[in-house]
Amino acid sequence: MSQKKNRNVGIAGIGMTEISSHKENQNQPEMINEAVRAALADAGIALRDIDCVIHGNMELFEMVHQPDMWHVIGTGALEKPSFRITTGGTTGMTLIAAADNLVASGMYDIVMAIGFNKLQEAGSTTGGITNMADALWYRHLQTGALTSTSANVTIEEIGEERARRAAMKYRIMMDKHACLNERAHRRLGLEYDQIENLMKNSPPLIGELRLIHMCSQSDGACAMILASEEKAKKISKKPVWIRDHIAIHREETASNAYFPILSENSHRVAARKLFARNGITNPIEYFDVFEMYDPSAWWGIEWLRDFLLLDGDQVIKMVEDGEFDLDGKLPVNPSGGVTASNPISATAMLKPAEVALQMRGDAGRHQLKREVKHGLASGFGGVMWTELMILEKDLDWQGDNNG
């Protein structure tokens, strides 16, 4: 079942804006343009070298219909082939998967993907997300992406005290990573001795979910340039290769996502299928870094278990033992993750972007000490949708597992 790709595709350029709660000094195309220019500069190429541009966001947040039309001022798509492809929170990674498909197809050699959201212009992100629910019956109930249902289940499994402590430890670990990342939106300077205090005193949002557990509302854009093997090697000294990606969706009705009517959620299905077709039997051993789309600390600890195909409280032990720290067994979210920065439709693109920067050794203060050869990145969106991607530093996997 391994993928037989028509040709290899590499990441040849990465650009992102600073991520912040508000950017009144830039309008939407200007913010996008900052990321586009950064990606072109990173790749060392000019706009004329780009064959095709893909654009994506969730348009009801900023309330701009077919926004790629206006945004052409900043995207650089003028007089070029261009697509607009979206899938919700997963959009950022969908765009990278789509760029990979477009380049691998042979139809375009160099494709630039742009994901962004300027959520402050939306007013309320939670209100905007709630718009995804069926207007006939569910829209008056949904609480955006805010939920305690995951926490409720974890607490039932391992006990209140241990679960709350693990979720808060995870949250503080993410903040410690974010504090090393100059582009991260929220860098709070939390310390592990604040666990007790935050468990009691952070304002409650929904049930067990407190303000500190939840991701931010951010403005930001990310642009990435993908190129065919031949061009990527010419353009970049350190191209990072897209090995494989999988998208897993599930049924529309959200209520069925909050109680397991089936034994596996979309994350576990995605991981199981993607690892199997790439011959990866032990993901914790294989990967050197995992950038996970973790909208809240509670989801963070639950989803790590799914993505890493763990059972019972194995993942909680790993959190407790610091195995996901920057120097742990499998570093998770050296960028600080989504609880630190969440310009939604750029968010899932920031995941492979961070993995690629780590592989190149260009991550800056949050650069991992170990050599990063194999990376995993995930996106989340819709009603529990998953996009999962394997990235590689070297083009050496094909002989072994892919053929």
| Dihedral angle sign, alpha carbons of residues 318, 319, 320, 321 | positive
Instruction: Establish if 48 lies at the interface with another protein (CB under 8 A).
Output: no
Instruction: Establish if 37 lies at the interface with another protein (CB under 8 A).
Output: no
Q: Which of 13, 56, 115, 379 binds another protein (CB under 8 A)?
A: 56
* CB within 8 Å of 226: residues ≥ 6 apart: 9, 10, 11, 12, 96, 99, 100, 103, 110, 111, 112, 113, 232, 242
Phi, psi of 31 (to 5 degrees): -65, -45
Instruction: Establish if 41 lies at the interface with another protein (CB under 8 A).
Output: no
Q: What is the Cα Rg of the chain in Å?
A: 20
Which residues in 119-178 contact another protein (CB under 8 A)?
A: 123-124, 126-132, 134-144, 146-149, 152-153, 156
Phi, psi of 383 (to 5 degrees): -100, 80
Question: How far is CA 1 from its chain centroid?
Answer: 25
Measured from the Cβ of residue 400, the count of other Cβ atoms closer than 10 Å reads 9
Which residues in 299-358 contact another protein (CB under 8 A)?
A: none
Q: Which of 192, 261, 314, 401 binds another protein (CB under 8 A)?
A: 261
Q: Which amino acid is at 190?
A: L
Q: Which of 53, 224, 292, 389 binds another protein (CB under 8 A)?
A: 53
Rank residues 253 and 282 by Cβ distance to another protein and give the closer one.
Answer: 253
Instruction: Establish if 5 lies at the interface with another protein (CB under 8 A).
Output: yes
| Segment interacting with another protein, rule: CB under 8 A, options 227-235, 241-249, 280-288, 290-298 | 241-249
Distance CA 240, CA 162 (A): 39
Instruction: Establish if 47 lies at the interface with another protein (CB under 8 A).
Output: no
Instruction: Establish if 279 lies at the interface with another protein (CB under 8 A).
Output: no
User: Least distance (Å) from another protein to the CB of residue 67?
Assistant: 8
Distance CA 224, CA 157 (A): 41
Rank residues 108 and 290 by Cβ distance to another protein and give the closer one.
Answer: 108
Rank residues 146 and 363 by Cβ distance to another protein and give the closer one.
Answer: 146
Instruction: Establish if 271 lies at the interface with another protein (CB under 8 A).
Output: no
Least Cα distance to 303 among 326, 277, 325, 332 occurs for 332
Q: Which DSSP string corresponds to 192-203? A: GGGHHHHHHHSP
Q: Which of 41, 44, 46, 69 binds another protein (CB under 8 A)?
A: 69
Rank residues 278 and 333 by Cβ distance to another protein and give the closer one.
Answer: 278
Q: Which of 88, 239, 283, 343 binds another protein (CB under 8 A)?
A: 88
Question: What mask, x for binding another protein by CB under 8 A, covers residues 359 to 388?
Answer: ----------------------xxx-----
Phi, psi of 282 (to 5 degrees): -130, 90
Instruction: Establish if 100 lies at the interface with another protein (CB under 8 A).
Output: yes
Rank residues 222 and 226 by Cβ distance to another protein and give the closer one.
Answer: 226
Distance CA 321, CA 78 (A): 52
Quote the DSSP letter at residue 379. Answer: E
Question: 3-class DSSP state for residue 242?
Answer: strand
User: Least distance (Å) from another protein to the CB of residue 148?
Assistant: 5
Instruction: Establish if 390 lies at the interface with another protein (CB under 8 A).
Output: no
Distance CA 158, CA 138 (A): 31
User: Least distance (Å) from another protein to the CB of residue 60?
Assistant: 5
Q: Which of 30, 37, 60, 368 binds another protein (CB under 8 A)?
A: 60
Let me know: does 361 contact 105? Beta carbons within 8 Å: no
Vertex 350, ends 349 and 352: CA angle to 5°? 70
Instruction: Establish if 30 lies at the interface with another protein (CB under 8 A).
Output: no
| Segment interacting with another protein, rule: CB under 8 A, options 204-212, 220-228, 295-303, 323-331 | 204-212
| Segment interacting with another protein, rule: CB under 8 A, options 55-63, 296-304, 305-313, 351-359 | 55-63
Least Cα distance to 289 among 357, 215, 188, 189 occurs for 357
User: Least distance (Å) from another protein to the CB of residue 367?
Assistant: 26
